[in-house]
Amino acid sequence: MMSTAAANRDAVLQALHQVVDPVSGRDVASLGLVRAVELDGQTAFVAFALPPQSAGEPVRRQITAQTQQALAGVPGVREVRVEFVAAGEMAARPLPGVKHVIAIGAGKGGVGKSTVSVLLAVGLARRGMKVGLLDADVYGPSVPKLTGTEDAEPAPDPSGRIELPECDGIRIMSMGYIVPPDQAVIWRGPMAQKYVKEFLDRGAWGELDYLLVDLPPGTGDIPLTLAQSIPLTGAVVVCTPQDVALLDAIKALRMYQKLGVEPLGLVENMSYYVCPQCGHREHIFDHGGCERAARELGVAFLGAIPLNLSIRVSGDAGRPSDNFAPAGPVAEALNRLSDRLIEEVTRRAAARRPLPQLRISG
């Protein structure tokens, strides 16, 4: 039988789902902002670890008032004390040996975000970079199919680290290796967040120049958890040229900015079609919208990827490197995209590097 203290603590945790972060509009429990819950007699102590955009005094007052109101109806709780932890004190910490972690997201599904993630990983690896790819789209993991690693069965080594499958030298982890392909993942946000953190913490990533993280589409719990779990170099947002896709892409970009994650730029997928017979270029889904949006938003336009049969064929076959072998519009676009990302990361890293201190002795 559950003890009274345990029952009250569970009730407190459940009640905290009523407390909404004013910035994101989501409840603090699902966002993972609840750092600790302790009960001492009839007093409940709740500690919140707030990201930078929620650390201001007005937000703290709102969260405190909501917490006191939410816990007023919990049996046995007569007093509520709320504490806050600064962003610098949160659990987010660098992955040992990983230089850059880049989130790849999209405002909506169907824009080819996972395909772009895989192709970008291969492009970086072909430039001599050590690359990892985390498929954090737990509800629709497609990276195993795209990389031909569906049959992989990651297992822990003697130290408890998960040995990771590889494709073209890229270390990969995905929910697709754990859940059978014909079964749906029906989880609430906290369970999905738990597995993303597990993949980050226990994966044998080793020494990497880049760890790319393929996120679920939209602005849900997984991107929020990732930004709070690990310091990100920045985020890449994938979209297609249509106005409706661009609107959603802008929302995704704004989400990263609110989370304090630097947008590295936009990628326009399925940008144009090149006739293989005559070389004529046709802009099936409109043209120039993504580049124009990037310019207006003050972020980099990283490149445009054509709509091409070879990308679909290589994706179905699990051979992403096939897109780089023949010279042509696809290889040129992917090489240019990889180079632009490296340039953008390098430029921003240099801008953040402190100037050397000059010592003058007389």
Among residues 132, 187, 131, the alpha carbon closest in space to that of 154 is found at: 132
Pairing type for strands 170-174 and 166-167 reads antiparallel
Q: How many helices (H) and strands (E) does the chain have?
A: 10, 13
Give tens-digit pLDDT for 173-185.
998 898 877 777 7
Mean pLDDT by 10 residues, the chain (362 residues): 51 89 82 75 82 76 93 88 65 76 89 95 96 90 94 86 94 89 68 78 92 85 69 90 84 80 91 82 83 88 92 94 88 96 88 51 43
**pLDDT of res. 22:** 86
Would you tell me which CATH number, out of the four given (3.30.450.40, 3.30.300.130, 3.40.50.2300, 3.40.470.10), belongs to the domain 4-89?
3.30.300.130
Measured at the alpha carbon of residue 155, what is the angle toward residues 188 and 100, in degrees to the nearest 5? 70
The residue among 278, 292, 266 whose CA lies nearest residue 329 is: 278
Determine whether domain 98-351 maps to CATH 3.40.50.300.
Answer: yes
Say if residues 219 and 140 touch (Cβ distance below 8 Å): no
282: which strand partners?
A: 273
pLDDT for 151 equals 92
| Residues forming CATH 3.40.50.300 domain(s) in the chain | 98-351
Q: Where in the chain is the domain with CATH 3.30.300.130?
A: 4-89
**pTM over 0.85, yes/no:** no
Neighbour-count burial of 323, counting CB atoms closer than 10 A to its CB (0-12 exposed, 13-18 middle, 19+ buried) = buried
The pLDDT value recorded for residue 183 is 75
- Can you tell me the distance from the alpha carbon of 109 to that of 270, in angstroms, rounded to the nearest whole number? 14
pLDDT for position 138:
81
| Contacts for 309 with CB less than 8 Å, ≥ 6 apart | 276
Predicted local distance difference test score (pLDDT) of residue 353 = 53
Cα torsion 170, 121, 112, 257 to 10°: value is: 120
In this prediction, residue 54 carries a pLDDT of 63
Report the SS3 class of residue 313: helix
Reported as a single tens digit per residue, the pLDDT across 308-356 is: 998 999 999 999 999 998 788 899 999 999 999 999 999 877 766 554 4
Q: What distance, in Å, lies between the first and last C-alpha atoms of the chain?
A: 77
3-state secondary structure of 179: coil
In the chain, alpha helices (H): 4-15, 57-71, 113-125, 143-147, 189-202, 221-229, 243-258, 289-297, 309-317, 329-352
